[in-house]
Structure 1
Amino acid sequence: MATLEGETDSSDEVPGSSRGEIFDLLSNHRRRYAIHYCKREEGPVTLGELAEHVAAWELDKDVSEITSTERKRVYTSLQQTHLPTLERAGMVEFDDRTIELTDAAAELEVYLDVVPGDSIPWGVYYLGLSALGFVVLAGIALEIVPTATVPPLAWAAIVLVLFAASAVVHVLSSRRMRLGEIERPP
Structure 2
Amino acid sequence: MSKQVERSDSTTDDDLSKGEIFDVLQNERRRYTLQYLREHDGPVQLGDLASHVAAQEYDCPNTAVTSAQRKRVYTTLQQSHLPRMDETGIIDYDDENGTISKTAHTEELTIYLEIVPGSEFPWREYYLSLGAVSLAIVTILWVGIYPFTVIPPLVWATLIAIVLSVSAAYHTYAGREMTLTEYVAQEAESDD
TMscore range, shorter length = 0.5 to 0.7
For 2:55, the equivalent position in structure 1 comes to 56
- Matched with 2:120 is 117
CA deviation profile, 1:77-100 (whole Å, cap 9, x unmatched): 000000001101101111121000
Q: CA deviation at 1:119?
A: 7.8
- Structure 1 vs Structure 2: percent identity of aligned residues? 46
Relative distance call for 1:36 and 1:21 in structure 2 (3 A) is same
CA distance in structure 1 between the aligned counterparts of 2:100 and 2:29, rounded to whole angstroms: 14
* TM-score, normalising length: structure 1: 0.55
Output the CA distance in 1 between the equivalents of 2:87 and 2:76.
16
Offset, 1:43: 1.3
Specify the alignment match of 1:90 in structure 2: 89
Q: Which amino acid in structure 2 is aligned with residue 34 of structure 1?
A: T
Instruction: Say whether the 8 Å CA contact 1:23–1:111 is kept in structure 2.
Output: no
- What is the Cα-based RMSD across aligned positions, in Å? 2.8
Cα drift, residue 105 of structure 1: 1.0
Unaligned runs of 5+ in 1: 4-13, 121-169, 175-186
For 1:72-111, list aligned pairs within 5 A.
72-96=71-95, 97-111=98-112
Matches within 5 A, 1:11-22: 15-22=14-21
**Counterpart-to-counterpart distance in 2, 1:53 and 1:118:** 27
Query: SS in structure 2 opposite 1:30?
Result: helix
Secondary structure class of the residue paired with 1:17: coil
Note the 1:1-186 alignment, pairs <5 A.
Answer: 2=10, 15-96=14-95, 97-112=98-113, 113-114=115-116, 115-118=118-121
Q: CA deviation at 1:24?
A: 1.4
2 CA distance for matches of 1:65 and 1:27?
Answer: 27
Structure 1 Cα separation of the partners of residues 14 and 112 of structure 2: 14
Moved over 4 A (4+): none
Larger Rg: 2
Instruction: Report the Cα distance in structure 1 between the residues aligned to 2:119 and 2:101, rounded to whole angstroms.
Output: 28
Structure 2: how far apart are the matches of 1:86 and 1:72? 20
Measure the CA separation in 2 of the matches of 1:50 and 1:66. Answer: 12
Give TM-score scaled by structure 2 length: 0.54
Distance across 1 between alignment mates of 2:111 and 2:22: 11
In the TM superposition, residue 20 of structure 1 has moved relative to its aligned partner by: 1.9
